[in-house]
Structures are given as structure tokens and as C-alpha cells.
């Protein structure tokens, strides 16, 4: 059967994936890349069902399957194994394959009157339908076949299978190895001489794997596909840089695209024979603390393997761009954890929503959970009259609120001339400006801006100056990320100042793992301004490495900010702007990423008035 690894098919695609926002909605159960080092690709998308209030453990799983080389060799087998691949990924994540629903995407060359061409989509659909009948899994619609021909260029026979399912977020697992000395076990899927799977064996295997995951007996699981066992184990090792010692194995078996087979990690103290009774399995070896993969007398350093994995697409989808030099390590403990002179049991939080804002629900929930009353207001800019009415309403709501929170998003598409300018233009309206400055100067209020909101605060001058003022070229700004693209990942930030009441619930030196999602997050300022901000304690947090040191390494500083700045405050600390999405936290959120994700930022803002 064709479909063996050709090298580039199983390479790193992190630079492509990070172009898309993976954490918006504060419902992401598994990040696309997991582990301490965020390097093990997740088998599929897992997100919580959105709810307007309360919490839920119900999440959705979505996976896909397709191998163009296999489909070109045999459209029937290509479609059959596309479906099996999508199913196996759901099982590896902790889903029950019997509850899966499929949807199919077909894409074939222009058929005309050629019988052989007509046979390709027909045999592909038969292959997909064959699996559905054998496993009693329905498809719920799909995309009509399209013509994939341009002059003399034809697409390979394409039937992509998408599998969807629901699961309990508490039982979902991720593929990166979790511990050293665990057993690495292969649960193979048998095929006959025509490469047709043993579907009874598949049912037995996947049913048992599902039960063991629900019982907490499987620590991690990975589906075998292109690249075979070798590729699967390498990727499982990358996330936490936990190595593996494997038994002797033929090269042909090590890299065979053995679709439907599964690799699972089981703790060393478990009785594997009992757990997998009635299921065919093979113990491949053990995980190890040593950062190598040892097999057939060869020891492969994980860093060397990572380099090879990254190489094919490193210049196409850039992951990071490092800058020479070392950022200053900032520490300021001159704050006094101030409280408001105005005491309010349930402070009101005004959250304006502009065209392009996409984090208002997450922000509102965070403040409500902290004990505040959120006042979300959608600005209507359809006509000049609508804008005028919206301005009036904004002023009214600001005057009745204690906190203004500017959520993230892409206001007015952030074009032209950069991000946050539409929000800034609205807030420069004389009536809005007067209400904002009254809140700050006379009513002891707070302002928070996250991501797009931070960009707006910078453009207004509220950061770092504490007042709305005209800005010039000498003022700080937020500009395009150093790598020249949007980046979505989890970054580590260190609290470096206790000036701001927004940080009353954390200590200087605390490190948090925070969701990042922006294209213009690089903080830049003149040397004179930077020195002043540092001296005043206005640098709130910095991007740091695993040792807590600020860094220009793109792995840790995703946008290349000067002195690794992630957040700054006004001179009195009551206005805070930050790029990291502190609102994107919750139970079972980003559970494949290690670290403390809860800054208790919103609680601190609400308790400021207690």
C-alpha cells in the first residue's frame, strides 16, 4: 500500500497554525501544540461548548483525515483510510468512536466523458461508505464534488474526512509524553492481503482505548499515520522533551504509514496484560528522561530531530526571528497595593464593543465571575445619527461605571495605519474624553485594555501618560510583530512591578502562561522613555524564558518587544494595558500547556473598590 512517508508530509507546521487565533472564546481545551515546550501537535481541535453563563464540561472534538499519495494509488483505499484516520484521532483524544458523525469533502479532476475519471469519485465514495457501514457511523452532509482541473493540471483524487464528536473535557488527553519510565505500547490494526482493515479488531481496540482513557489509565495517545511509528513517537517526545528507548524494530515497520494503529503511554506500575486483555498489543519500549530516542543501536538527540522536523517549512512559515542582545531584567517593588477611596460592593464595568471586537464575551464573563456587573455596549456606526446616539450612550455608561475595559479584537480591521485607531478616534470625542478623564481624575476609576484595547490606550496617550493627549513620533507605540505575521500561542510573562492595583493579587516575580494572539504587539519606545518607565515602575510584565529571564528569543518573546515588554501602566498604575489575553482562562482550558494561567487580574480590579 502506498502512502509511506516521503519526508516533508510529517514536518512541523507550527508557523502556519500560529497564524490563526487558537484561544478566542476562552473555550480551547487543547492548544494546537502541547507540552512544556508547545511542540507536540495535537490530534485535533477540542473546544468547550460556548455557554453564556455558568460552566460546562461538554466539549466538541473535530479531526480530519486524508493522504493524497494513498488516494492517488487507490481512491477507494484513500477514502477508506481518510475516514479511519479521522476516527483514530478522535479516539486518541479520548472520544467514543461510536458517537462520531462524519462530513466529507470531495475534490476531483474534471470528469468529462472519461469512464476512468468517473470511476475515481465513485470508488472513493464507496471506500468511505464501506467504513460507515462496517462501523455504523453516519455522515451528516458534506461538500459537493468540485472540478480540480486547470489546463493540464489535475488534483489527486481527494476525499477528506472530518469527524466530529462530543466529549467530557475532564477526560480529554493530549499526545505528548507525560512521564519518564512509562511503557510505550502499540495497539495495531490488522489488515488483510488487500489492505482492508479488520473492523472487528478496530472496534475492540478503540472501545478498549476509550474505556482506559476514561479510567485515567492512558496518559497520552497518538494515532499512527504518515511517517509511521517513528514519526508518531518523535512528535509525542517533542512536547515535554521526554525521550524514548525502543526495542529492536525493522526500518520498514518503523516508518510504515500504518493507519488505524495507535500508540499509547501507560504508567510503568500498571498491569498492561490485564488492561489490554483480549486486545493485540506490542510494548515498543519506555519513555526516558534522557532527551534522545534510542532504537536499533542508534541514539537520536531530540534537538537534532526537532531541527530536521522544522527544516522543510522553516523559511515558508517562519516560527521565530531572534534579535541580538539581552533585555533588561526589570524589578520594581515601590507600590503599596492601593485601594479605591470609593467603596462599592459590585462595581460596574463598561465594555464597549466596536466593529471587529471579538473578546467582549470572554472579558464580560471574567468580570462577572470576579463579582462585577458588566455593561457591554455595541457601538452602532451605520449612520452619522447612529454614531451620535452611540456617543451619548457611551458617555452615560462611563459616568455610571467604575471600570472601563477595552477588549481585544481587530477594530475596523485595523487598517489602514495600524491597530486600535478606530477605538481611539471614538474616545477622542470631546464628550467621551471628558467622561473618561472624570473617571480617572475625580472618581478613582480603573481602565484596562487587552490586545486591541492596549493598542487603543497607547494611541490615546492614556498609556503611558495617564491622560488623553496628542501623540507624536517620540511617544511609545505598538507595531508589527518582528516575524511579520500574526502569532497565536501561549507565552510566559513575569510580573516585574507591583505599582498597579490590577496586579494586587500577584507578587513581583510571579510567572504566568498567558494566551497571545496579535499581529501588532511589539512595544517600542525611545531609550529616554524606556528609562523613565522602568524608573517609575510602569513596566508591569515582561516576556520571559523557562528560567524567568526576559528574552528576545522568538520562542518566548513572540513579537520582539523592546526589553521584552508585555504590559505597561499609567504613572499611578490605575490604567493597565497588556497584549496577553488574561481573560482566556477557565476550567480545563489549554490543559496541554503547563504553567499557572490565572493572573487573578479581574478579581483585583473588582476588589480595588471593596
Q: How far is it, in rounded angstroms, from Cα 540 to Cα 546?
A: 19
From the list 10, 59, 359, 451, the catalytic residue is 451
Backbone CA torsion sign across 471, 477, 480, 482: positive
10 is catalytic: no
Give the chain's end-to-end CA distance (angstroms, integer): 69
Q: Which residues contact 603 (CB under 8 A, 6 or more apart)?
A: 370, 371, 505
Distance (Å, whole) CA 457 – CA 465 = 10
Spatial separation of the C-alpha atoms in residues 35 and 309, rounded to whole Å: 17
583: annotated active-site residue: yes
Q: Quick check: 465 and 471 in contact, CB under 8 A?
A: no
**Burial of 219: CB neighbours in 10 Å, binned 0-12, 13-18, 19+:** buried
Is 486 designated active site? no
The residues that bridge with 543 in the sheet, in sequence order, are 493
Q: How is residue 193 annotated by DSSP?
A: T
Catalytic residue among 10, 566, 581, 590: 581
Bridge partners of 63, per DSSP, are 163
Nearest CA-CA partner of 209 in 33, 82, 90: 90
| Given the residues 43, 109, 583, 603, the one annotated as active site | 583
Residue 415 contacts by C-beta under 8 Å, 6 or more apart in sequence? none
CA-to-CA dists, residue 495 to 336, 482, 584, angstroms: 15, 23, 18
Residue 151: CB partners within 8 Å, gap ≥ 6? none
Secondary-structure percent of the chain, ordered helix, strand, coil, rounded to 5 = 30, 25, 45
DSSP conformational letter for 412: G
**Are the C-beta atoms of residues 520 and 560 closer than 8 Å to each other?**
no
Catalytic residue numbers, as ranges: 451, 581, 583
Amino acid at each position: 500500500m502506498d502512502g509511506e512517508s516521503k519526508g516533508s508530509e510529517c514536518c512541523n507546521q507550527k508557523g502556519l497554525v500560529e497564524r490563526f487565533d487558537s484561544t478566542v472564546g476562552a473555550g480551547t481545551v487543547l492548544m494546537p501544540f502541547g507540552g512544556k515546550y508547545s511542540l507536540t501537535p495535537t490530534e485535533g481541535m477540542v473546544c468547550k461548548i460556548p455557554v453564556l453563563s455558568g460552566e460546562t464540561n461538554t466539549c466538541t472534538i473535530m479531526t480530519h483525515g486524508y493522504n493524497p499519495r494513498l488516494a492517488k494509488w487507490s481512491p477507494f483505499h484513500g477514502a477508506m483510510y481518510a475516514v479511519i484516520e479521522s476516527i483514530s484521532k478522535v479516539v486518541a483524544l479520548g472520544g467514543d468512536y461510536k458517537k462520531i458523525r462524519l462530513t466529507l469533502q470531495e475534490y476531483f479532476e474534471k470528469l468529462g466523458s472519461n469512464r476512468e475519471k468517473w470511476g475515481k469519485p465513485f470508488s472513493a465514495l464507496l471506500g468511505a461508505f464501506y467504513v460507515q457501514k462496517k462501523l455504523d457511523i453516519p455522515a451528516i452532509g458534506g461538500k459537493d464534488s468540485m472540478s480540480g482541473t486547470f489546463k493540464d493540471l489535475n488534483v489527486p483524487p481527494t476525499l477528506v474526512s472530518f469527524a466530529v464528536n462530543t466529549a467530557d473535557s475532564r477526560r480529554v488527553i493530549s499526545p505528548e509524553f507525560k512521564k519518564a519510565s512509562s511503557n510505550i505500547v502499540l495497539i495495531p490494526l490488522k489488515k488483510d492481503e488487500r489492505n482492508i482493515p479488520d473492523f472487528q479488531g478496530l472496534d475492540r481496540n478503540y472501545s478498549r482505548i476509550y474505556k482506559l482513557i476514561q479510567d485515567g489509565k492512558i496518559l497520552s495517545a497518538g494515532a499512527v499515520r504518515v511517517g509511521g511509528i517513528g514519526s508518531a513517537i518523535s512528535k509525542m517526545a517533542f512536547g515535554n522533551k521526554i525521550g524514548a528507548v525502543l526495542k529492536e524494530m525493522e526500518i520498514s515497520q518503523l516508518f510504515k504509514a500504518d493507519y488505524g494503529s495507535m500508540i499509547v503511554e501507560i504508567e510503568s506500575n500498571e498491569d498492561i496484560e490485564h488492561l489490554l486483555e483480549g486486545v493485540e498489543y506490542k510494548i515498543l519500549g519506555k519513555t526516558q528522561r534522557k532527551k534522545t530516542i534510542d532504537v536499533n543501536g542508534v541514539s537520536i538527540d531530540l534537538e537534532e530531530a526537532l531541527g530536521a522536523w522544522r527544516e522543510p517549512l522553516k523559511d515558508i512559515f517562519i516560527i521565530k526571528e531572534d534579535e541580538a542582545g539581552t533585555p533588561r531584567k526589570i524589578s520594581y517593588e515601590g507600590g503599596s497595593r492601593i485601594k479605591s477611596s470609593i467603596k462599592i460592593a459590585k462595581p460596574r464595568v463598561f465594555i464597549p464593543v466596536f466593529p471587529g471586537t471579538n473578546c467582549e464575551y470572554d472579558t464580560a464573563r471574567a468580570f462577572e465571575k470576579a463579582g462585577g456587573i458588566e455593561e457591554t455596549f455595541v457601538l452602532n456606526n451605520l449612520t452619522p445619527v447612529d454614531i451620535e446616539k452611540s456617543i451619548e450612550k457611551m458617555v452615560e455608561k462611563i459616568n455610571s461605571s467604575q471600570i472601563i475595559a477595552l477588549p481585544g479584537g481587530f477594530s475596523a480591521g485595523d487598517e489602514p495605519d495600524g491597530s486600535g485607531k478606530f477605538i481611539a478616534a471614538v474616545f477622542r470625542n470631546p464628550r467621551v474624553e471628558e467622561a473618561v478623564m472624570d473617571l480617572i481624575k475625580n472618581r478613582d476609576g480603573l481602565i484596562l485594555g487587552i490586545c486591541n484595547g492596549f493598542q487603543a490606550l497607547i494611541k490615546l496617550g492614556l498609556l503611558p501618560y495617564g491622560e488623553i493627549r496628542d501623540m507624536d513620533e517620540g511617544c511609545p507605540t505598538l507595531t508589527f510583530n518582528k516575524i511579520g505575521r500574526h502569532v497565536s500561542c501561549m507565552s510566559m510573562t513575569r510580573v516585574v512591578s507591583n505599582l498597579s492595583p490590577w496586579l494586587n493579587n500577584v507578587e513581583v516575580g510571579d510567572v504566568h502562561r498567558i494566551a497571545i494572539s496579535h499581529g501588532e504587539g511589539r512595544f517600542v519606545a525611545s531609550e529616554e522613555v524606556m528609562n523613565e518607565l522602568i524608573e517609575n515602575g510602569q513596566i508591569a510584565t515582561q516576556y520571559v524564558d523557562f528560567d524567568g529571564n526576559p528574552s528576545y528569543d522568538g520562542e518566548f518573546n513572540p513579537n520582539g518587544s523592546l526589553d521584552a515588554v508585555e504590559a505597561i501602566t499609567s504613572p499611578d498604575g490605575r490604567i493597565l494595558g497588556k497584549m496577553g489575553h488574561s481573560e482566556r482562562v477557565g476550567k480545563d482550558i489549554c490543559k496541554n500547556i503547563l504553567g499557572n494561567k490565572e493572573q487573578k487580574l479581574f478579581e483585583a480590579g473588582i476588589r480595588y473598590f471593596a
